[in-house]
């Protein structure tokens, strides 16, 4: 048993020496950053380009209804202007509690603090619809997410998760999405793993899902035990990946495989 | 309440061929999938779609378990007079989802 721990310890040390945190934070040079859109087939791209055929807009429509009827519009009366830069501002630290929250968390804070309503469960249809509606106001804008000193620990934790091997396949995120982006994995083209299109409609799911659901799907695919959606681990990873996608266009609700 | 999206031109010239598009939010659960406990997820699909212009059927379709979730339909009609288009989906349970759109034909 002690010996087994020793081997794990060495493996961890070896993992750290491969990618120290203070080295270049991202495995892809800024000029080589490509959206997941560019790794899709022409047919799937056409679905995203068509503002009627994109099924993600069903959730935008639902979210808009919830936004108007659920009381959000009483404060946020001009969502088109107010949420224009929302893709570059979340995840953020809540000034009151100091906790890291993403857009889903911000919507739930609005509900509990200002509306005396219960939180919506993560990945519930209403929360997805509201998030997608708000995020879609930022569609077409360039992502420029700044890591402040206060966000730095979360960024480092997310980076650590990205470079840590896990699961029975013993793979880390960067092995696919930095080192093998563009290569084929069976019938699929491996993307760079950006989250600029999320919440996105995935043909695989036949429904719309959040970036955290996408993280979970990746973790399950390498046969790891995934953390919960909305957990601190995934929030930190979202911080890292949002910054990693700086310069991309916000596409949510995008179409992904 | 099912979410339905329609695309119908606001107006058309008499004799024009116009494109109609309709999408409905539906899981189209095929009945072939199993859940995490290994039990079959019961089939629940839309089985029939019909589009009527006033009282005349202009397009209809049977749906089967192979149809994707949130099915999108595109079809065409020749605009001849103003009227009401009715888009109607029937679920296997017999429940009907309907949305209408007005079509104005200019002379």
pLDDT (average), residues A4-32 = 55
Under an 8 A CB cutoff, do A55 and B70 touch?
yes
Q: Given a cut of 60, is residue A8 above it in pLDDT?
A: no
Nearest-CA distance B14 → chain A (Å): 25
Beta carbon pairs, A and B, within 8 Å: 30
DSSP assignment of chain A equals: -HHHHHHHHHHHHHHHHHS-TTS-S-SS-GGG---GGGGS-HHHHHHHH-TTT-THHHHHHHHHHHHHHTTHHHH-S-HHHHTTTGGGT-SEE-TTT--EE-HHHHHHHIIIIIS--PPPPTT-HHHHHHHHHHHHTTTTPBP-----TTTHHHHHHHHHHHH--BTTTTB-HHHHHTTSTTSEETTEEP-----TT-SEEETTTTEEE-HHHHHHHHHHHTT--PPPTT-HHHHHHHHHHHHHTTTSBP--S-EE-
Question: How large is the average pLDDT for residues A24-30?
Answer: 85
pLDDT tens-place string over residues A226-242: 999 999 999 999 999 99
Nearest to A58 among B21, B28, B70 (CB): B70
The predicted structure's pLDDT at residue B1: 52
Q: Which residue of B has its CA nearest to A61?
A: B3
Which pLDDT band, with edges at 50, 70 and 90, does A14 fall under?
very low
Interface pTM, i.e. ipTM: 0.87
Per-residue pLDDT tens digits for B71-103: 999 999 999 999 999 999 999 999 999 999 999
Tell me, yes or no, if B27 comes closer than 8 A to chain A by beta carbon. Answer: yes
Q: How confident is the model at residue A41 (pLDDT cuts 50, 70, 90)?
A: very high
* Residue among A53, A60, A62, A133 with most chain B CBs within 10 A, to mutate: A53
Confidence of residue A20 (pLDDT cuts 50, 70, 90): very low
Q: Do the Cβ atoms of B70 and A206 come within 8 Å?
A: yes
Which of B5, B25, B68 is the closest to A52 by Cβ?
B5
Which chain A residue has its CA at the smallest distance from B67's CA? A206
pLDDT attached to residue A169: 95
- What is the SS3 assignment for B96? strand
* pTM for the model: 0.87
Assigned token pair, A28: 């892809």
Average pLDDT over residues A191-216: 95
pLDDT digits (tens, 9 = 90+) for B24-75: 999 999 999 998 899 999 999 999 999 999 989 999 999 999 999 999 999 9
Give the full edge-to-edge strand order of the sheet including B56-62: B11-13, B96-106, B83-91, B46-53, B56-62
Q: Which of B46, B65, B69 to mutate to test the interface with A (most CBs of A within 10 A)?
A: B69
By mean pLDDT, which of A6-20, A25-39, A145-159, A231-245 is the weakest? A6-20
Question: How far is the alpha carbon of A54 from chain B, nearest alpha carbon, in Å?
Answer: 9
For the cut 80, the answer to whether the pLDDT of residue A5 exceeds it is no
Which one, of A252, A239, A218, A237, lies nearest residue A36 by Cα?
A: A252
Q: What is the spatial distance between Cα A105 and Cα A158, in angstroms, rounded to a whole number?
A: 18
The second-level CATH assignment, the architecture, of B4-106 is Sandwich (2.60)
Q: Cα A60–A61–A63 angle (5° rounding)? A: 60
Share of residues in chain A with pLDDT > 70 (%): 91
pLDDT value of residue A2: 44
- C-alpha distances in Å from residue B17, one per residue of A78, B6, B54, B73, B75: 38, 17, 17, 16, 10
Mean pLDDT of all residues in A250-254: 94
Maximal C-alpha separation, chain A = 62
B102 touches chain A (CB under 8 A): no
For A109-162, how does the pLDDT look when each residue is reduced to its tens digit (9 = 90+)?
Answer: 999 999 999 999 999 999 999 999 999 999 999 999 999 999 999 999 999 999
């Amino acid at each position: 048993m002690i010996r087994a721990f020793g081997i794990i310890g060495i493996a961890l040390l070896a993992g750290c020496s491969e990618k120290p945190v203070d080295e270049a934070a991202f495995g892809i040079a800024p000029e080589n950053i490509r959206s997941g859109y560019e790794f899709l087939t022409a047919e799937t791209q056409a679905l995203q380009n068509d503002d009627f055929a994109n099924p993600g807009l069903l959730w935008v429509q639902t979210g808009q209804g919830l936004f108007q009827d659920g009381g959000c519009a009483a404060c946020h009366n001009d969502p088109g202007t107010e949420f224009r830069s929302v893709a570059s501002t979340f995840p953020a630290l809540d000034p009151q509690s100091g906790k890291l929250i993403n857009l889903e968390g911000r919507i739930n804070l609005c509900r509990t603090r200002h509306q005396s309503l219960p939180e919506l469960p993560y990945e519930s249809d209403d929360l997805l619809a509201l998030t997608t509606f708000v995020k879609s106001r930022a569609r077409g804008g360039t992502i420029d997410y700044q890591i402040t000193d206060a966000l730095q620990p979360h960024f480092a934790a997310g980076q650590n998760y990205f470079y840590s091997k896990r699961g029975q396949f013993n793979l880390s995120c960067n092995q696919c999405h930095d080192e093998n982006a563009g290569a084929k994995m069976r019938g699929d083209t491996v993307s760079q793993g950006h989250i600029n299109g999320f919440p996105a409609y995935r043909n695989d799911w036949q429904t719309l899902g959040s970036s955290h659901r996408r993280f979970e799907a990746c973790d399950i695919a390498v046969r790891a035990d995934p953390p919960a959606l909305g957990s601190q681990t995934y929030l930190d990873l979202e911080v890292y990946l949002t910054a990693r996608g700086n310069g991309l266009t916000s596409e949510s609700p995008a179409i992904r495989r | 309440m099912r979410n339905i999206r329609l695309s119908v031109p606001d107006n058309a010239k008499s004799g024009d061929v116009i494109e109609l598009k309709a999408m409905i939010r539906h899981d189209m659960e095929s009945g072939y999938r199993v859940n995490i406990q290994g039990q079959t997820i019961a089939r629940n699909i839309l089985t029939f779609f019909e589009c009527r212009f006033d009282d005349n059927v202009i397009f209809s379709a049977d749906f089967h378990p192979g149809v994707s979730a949130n099915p999108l339909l595109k079809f065409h009609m020749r605009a001849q007079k103003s009227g009401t288009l009715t888009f109607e989906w029937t679920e296997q349970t017999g429940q009907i989802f309907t949305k209408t759109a007005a079509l104005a034909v200019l002379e």
